[in-house]
Structure 1
Amino acid sequence: MKTNTSAKAVSENAIDSERSSVVLSALFAVMFGAFFVYGAGFANSSNLHDTAHDTRHAFAFPCH
């Protein structure tokens, strides 16, 4: 009886740990995405173009 109860507690702890990991990852992704959306929204368009242009060349994609 005692081992069954402790196994259940370990299982519940694993589920709680996994759930908190998923929530933390989702929160980080939302904050990271919001940072990029607002950062791109307030950036100068020529700066965005130059950054995209340099990134394409860094990955060896021709752009013109």
Structure 2
Amino acid sequence: MSTISTTGSRTTSSTTTLTQRLTAAVFASILGAGLVYFAGFSHIEAVHNAAHDTRHSSAFPCH
């Protein structure tokens, strides 16, 4: 993703490298898997039930 902003006579350019995008994707995947694992196998009923109800409200079959 590339953004360019111009303020008066000054131009600033910012680019995201492939390494940064891959790092963000890997981090998001690990975080997501951790959250799914935590909610799915949690012994705390409130956490498990909240995840279960969210899946049903999104029309995602779970059983």
TM-score (normalizing by structure 2): 0.46
Q: Larger % of helix: which?
A: 1
- Higher relative contact order, structure no. (Cα contacts within 8 Å, ≥ 6 residues apart): 2
TM-score normalised per structure 1: 0.45
Larger-Rg structure: 1
